[in-house]
Amino acid sequence: MNEHPHRTTPARHPQGAEELPDHVIQDAVVVVPGIMGSTLYDTTTGKDVWGIGGISWLLKAWTTPSGLKSLAMTEDELAGKTGRIEATGLLKRSAWTPYLAGSEPYTDLVDTVLTSVADPAAVLEFAYDWRLPVAANGRLLADAARRHLTDWRRHPAHDQARRHRADQREGRLVFVAHSMGGLVTRAALDPGYDGDLHADTRGVITLGTPFQGSVKAAVILATGRGTPVPLPHRKLREVCATMPGLHDLLPQYRSLRAAGDVRHLTPGDITAIGGDAELARNAAVFHHGQKKIGLPGHRSVVGVNQPTWQNLTITDGTVEAHYEGARQNSDGTFIRDRNDHVRYFRVNGDGTVYKESAVLTDIVTHLPLQHGDVAKAPTALDAITEILRDDINPGPPQGEAGCGLSAPDLVEAGRTWKVRLSDVDSLSGLTCRLTDLADPALPAAPLPTTWEDGLATATASTPAPGLYRIEVHTPDGFDITQLVLSTEPDQPSAESES
C-alpha cells in the first residue's frame, strides 16, 4: 500500500534540471478527482474495492449480487467513524458506472499539469473517499493542500522556478478539480478550516463541477423503484442510498415539476424516491453555507451540447427526468406562455451536469464534451494548460460546436443498438467508432452512420462482454466519447435479485 494515500509520485520529470522554459510556473498544483475518481481499499478485508481491477473485474463487480458490497456505508461510517475505506490514488484506468457514462483515468490530466510545473514535487494528486460528505473531504483537502504548499516552498526547485519568473513571488496553490472535486475544493477554501488557504491560492480550475447539483443524482437514488431495471443500475442505487457524497450532488436549484410549477426538492421528496431525508437536509444546509465562499482566480471548463437532464417529475416514487428546464425572467419569475404555463427550454450540458449548474463566474471555456471527458479530452487539456500558464481567456469562443452524443450505457453482447448524434448538419467528415478497451490498439472500423428521425445515427454491436469506448469525430475537429459496458445476453434484472 502507498504510505501516503493522497500522494502518488509521477513517473517522469517534464523539465530539464539546469534551465527552465519560460512557461514553467512556480506554483504548487493540486489535482482533485470527481466521484468514483479515486481508487478505494478496504482496510478490514485487505482488498481493493474500486478502480484497481481490469475489465473482467468491472463485469463481475456490476453483474454479480455480491459485487461492490464493500462500498455500502456502514452505521459507524454514517456516524462519522471513518477509516475502514482508504483512498489510495487517482483512477488510472477506465471504469464504468451506470448513468455516469463511465469514468476516465486521470493520467493524461496529471501528465498535462506536469508540463507546466518546475518539478513533479509541485503536483499533489489528492485521492479521497468520495462516499463521504463533501464537507469532510474538504477538511482533508485543506490539510493536505497546506502541507503540500509548505513542502513545495521548501523544495530547491521552487526557488529555481521563482528566479526565472518576471514576478518572483512565492509559489501559491492552483487547484485543478473535476466534477465533485470542485465542490470538495470549495469546501476546503472555507475560512473555518484554514483562514490563510484562500489567500495562498492563485487559482481554481473546475471541470464539469455541479455547483448547483445534477438531476442524475436523484435518478440514481430512484433506480429500481417502480419498474424493473438491469442489475447494475439497481446495485448503484443500493450503494448510493445512504451515501452522503451522492446526496451532496442532488440538484439545489428548482428542479421538480409539480402542480404546474417548478420547486426545490425537499427531504420528503428524496425519501419518496429511496434516498435519505437527513442526508438530503444536510446537503441543502451545506450548499447554502458554501454560497459565501468565493473561488480565487476561478476558471470553469464546461461541457456543452450534450443532451442533459435538467428537471424531473416524481410520481409514486418513480422519477422521470427531463432534458428541458424552466428559465427565469430578470425578476426571478419563471418564463411562461400566454396560457400562464411554465415554458421549458433545452439547455444541454455534458450529459451529467447541465451547463448553467457548472458555472459560477463569467470566465468560462465551453467545450462539446461528455462529463467524463472534460478532464481528459485534448481540447480540455489544452485549455487547462493555458489557464495554468496565466492566460485569461483560453479555448475556443463560446458557441455550439462539435455534436451531442446519446447512447445506452449498458448493452448486451451480440445485439445491435444505436448511437444518436444531435446538431449534425452533414455526414461528410463525421466518423463514429467503437473501441474495445481490452485491446485499444486494435484498429476500429467506422460504424455505419445514416439519418434516422432527423438525427445522424450509427448502428453498433459488441462481439463480446467488456468495456468499450464510443469515439465520435466531428467535421469541425472535435472528439466526443462515452464508455459503454457490454454484458452477456439476458443478464438478470434488478427485481430477480431482490
**Helices in 369-432 by DSSP H: which ranges?**
378-388
Residue 235 lies in a domain: no
Residue 341 lies in a domain: no
- Do 468 and 362 belong to one domain? no
- Do 37 and 110 belong to one domain? yes
Residue that finishes a domain, picked among 373, 401, 429: 401
Q: Is the dihedral of CA 269, 270, 272, 276 positive or negative?
A: negative
Residue 228 lies in a domain: no
Residue 280 lies in a domain: no
Residue 162 lies in a domain: yes
pLDDT of residue 290: 94
Return the CATH number at 421. 2.60.40.10
Report whether 470 contacts 462 (CB < 8 A).
no
- Do 428 and 442 belong to one domain? yes
Residue 247 lies in a domain: no
In angstroms, the Cα distances linking 428 to 424, 425, 470, 497 are: 10, 9, 19, 46
Taking the alpha carbons at both ends of the chain, their separation in whole angstroms is 36
3-class secondary structure, 203: strand
Please choose, from the candidates 248, 478, 212, 206, the residue with its C-alpha nearest in 3D space to the C-alpha of residue 353: 212
Q: How many domains does the chain have?
A: 2
Task: Give the pTM.
Answer: 0.90
pLDDT of residue 425: 86
- Do 294 and 420 belong to one domain? no
Residue 252 lies in a domain: no
**pLDDT truncated to tens, each residue of the chain (498 aa)?**
344 344 333 434 444 446 788 889 999 999 999 999 999 999 999 999 999 888 999 999 998 888 898 999 999 999 999 999 999 999 999 999 989 878 899 999 999 999 999 999 999 999 999 999 999 999 999 999 999 999 999 999 999 999 888 778 899 999 999 999 999 999 999 999 999 999 999 999 999 999 999 999 999 999 766 566 788 888 899 899 999 999 999 999 999 999 999 999 999 999 999 999 999 999 999 999 999 999 999 999 999 999 999 999 999 888 999 999 999 999 989 999 999 999 999 999 999 999 999 998 878 999 999 999 999 999 999 999 999 987 544 444 444 578 999 999 999 999 999 999 998 888 998 999 999 999 988 888 899 999 999 899 999 999 999 999 999 999 888 899 999 999 998 754 433 333
pLDDT of residue 391: 53
Residue that finishes a domain, picked among 368, 401, 434: 401
Question: The domain containing residue 134 runs over which residues?
Answer: 1-212+289-306+350-401
Report whether 338 contacts 331 (CB < 8 A).
no
- Do 365 and 455 belong to one domain? no
Please choose, from the candidates 313, 311, 306, 338, the residue with its C-alpha nearest in 3D space to the C-alpha of residue 327: 311
Residue 159 lies in a domain: yes
Instruction: Give the E-state strand segments of 16-154 in sequence order.
Output: 28-32, 38-42, 47-50, 85-90, 123-125
How crowded is residue 224: how many other Cβ atoms within 10 Å of its Cβ?
Answer: 23
Residue that finishes a domain, picked among 401, 428, 461: 401
DSSP 375: G
- Do 27 and 121 belong to one domain? yes
- Do 47 and 185 belong to one domain? yes
3-class secondary structure, 279: helix
pLDDT of residue 28: 97
- Do 127 and 180 belong to one domain? yes
CA dist 302 and 365 (Å) reads 6
- Do 73 and 206 belong to one domain? yes
- Do 295 and 440 belong to one domain? no
- Do 437 and 376 belong to one domain? no
CA dist 117 and 14 (Å) reads 8
- Do 441 and 294 belong to one domain? no
CA dist 242 and 76 (Å) reads 12
Return the CATH number at 393. 3.40.50.1820
